[in-house]
């Protein structure tokens, strides 16, 4: 019996990528994914066996796309501070552009969703380790204060990325319905590339 077209698994993955930012992993239904991909539900079971296996594949693909750019920006500049600045900016851009997905994944993780927990356990350390290494290198050169590197890391990530997560929480909040839309203000003054660059300058100083 010939193997079904390999394009089918790709279509299922692409369908899930479109659906996940609204449903999260906990709310994603495989029948819904199959319908979105316009394929028979049986093809999902043929290619992926279980929902958890499928979700890990989809989430890993998202992460590898991010990590490829992140790792490049963290390594190809002239100094550790320039690398740190570029890595943080890349991270912040990813968090902003994918804030719907990041928000629902954090929600799923706090609710104990196994696929998300396994994904975070397998990958979270990868970019965190790079940032901690860069922070240590900057400290050796006297460009960052002699605080515990994890403390500096939390400060940097929270400042750069949390506004994106908070803005998505505000968008989803029932309390915000019918009230003035604050998204344009956030986009212009907090989430724009210029705003992210300004926060980086505040945190790490003016780039030379």
CATH of the domain at 174: 1.10.357
Residue 16 falls inside a structural domain = no
Quick count: other Cβ atoms within 10 Å of Cβ 135?
A: 23
Helix axes 193-204, 149-172, angle to 10 degrees: 150
Q: Which strand (E) or helix (H) includes residue 177?
A: none
Residue 127 falls inside a structural domain = yes
Total residue length of the chain: 208
Q: Enter the tokens of residue 162.
A: 């949390």
Residue 177 falls inside a structural domain = yes
**Which pLDDT score is estimated for 173?**
80
Which residues are CB-neighbours of 184 under 8 A, at least 6 positions away?
A: none
CA distance 55 to 61: 10
Count how many Cα atoms sit within 13 Å of the Cα of residue 159 in the half-sphere of its side chain: 18
Handedness of CA 96, 135, 70, 102 (dihedral sign): negative
CA distance 34 to 152: 44
CA distance 82 to 74: 8
Residue 42 falls inside a structural domain = no
Report yes or no: 101 and 165 within 8 Å, Cβ to Cβ: no
Residue 6 falls inside a structural domain = no
Which residues are CB-neighbours of 115 under 8 A, at least 6 positions away?
A: 25, 51, 52, 55, 56, 59
Residue 161 falls inside a structural domain = yes
Domain with 104 in it = 77-204
pLDDT tens digits, one per residue of 82-123: 999 999 999 999 999 999 999 999 999 999 999 999 999 999
Q: For the chain, which residues score pLDDT lower than 50?
A: 1-4
Residue 121 falls inside a structural domain = yes
**Which pLDDT score is estimated for 1?**
37
**Which pLDDT score is estimated for 202?**
96
**Which pLDDT score is estimated for 103?**
96
Counted domains in the chain: 1
For residue 53, report the phi and psi dihedrals to the nearest 5 degrees: -60, -40
How far is C-alpha 134 from the chain's CA centre? 20
Q: Enter the tokens of residue 109.
A: 């993780």
**Which pLDDT score is estimated for 2?**
42
Residue 164 falls inside a structural domain = yes
């Amino acid at each position: 019996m010939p193997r079904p077209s390999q394009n089918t698994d790709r279509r299922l993955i692409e369908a899930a990528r479109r659906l996940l930012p609204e449903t999260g992993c906990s709310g994603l239904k495989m029948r819904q994914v199959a319908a979105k991909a316009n394929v028979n539900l049986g093809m999902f079971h043929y290619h992926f066996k279980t929902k958890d296996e499928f979700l890990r594949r989809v989430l890993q693909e998202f992460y590898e796309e991010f990590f490829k750019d992140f790792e490049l920006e963290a390594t190809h500049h002239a100094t550790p501070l320039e690398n740190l600045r570029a890595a943080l900016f890349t991270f912040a851009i990813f968090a902003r552009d994918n804030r719907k997905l990041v928000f629902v994944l954090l929600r799923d993780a706090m609710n104990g969703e196994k696929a998300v927990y396994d994904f975070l356990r397998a990958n979270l350390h990868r970019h965190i380790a790079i940032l901690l290494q860069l922070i240590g290198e900057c400290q050796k050169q006297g460009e960052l204060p002699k605080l515990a590197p994890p403390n500096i890391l939390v400060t940097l990530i929270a400042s750069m990325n949390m506004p994106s997560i908070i803005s998505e929480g505000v968008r989803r909040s029932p309390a915000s319905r019918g009230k003035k839309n604050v998204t344009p203000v956030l986009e212009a003054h907090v989430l724009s590339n210029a705003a992210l660059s300004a926060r980086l300058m505040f945190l790490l100083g003016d780039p030379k």
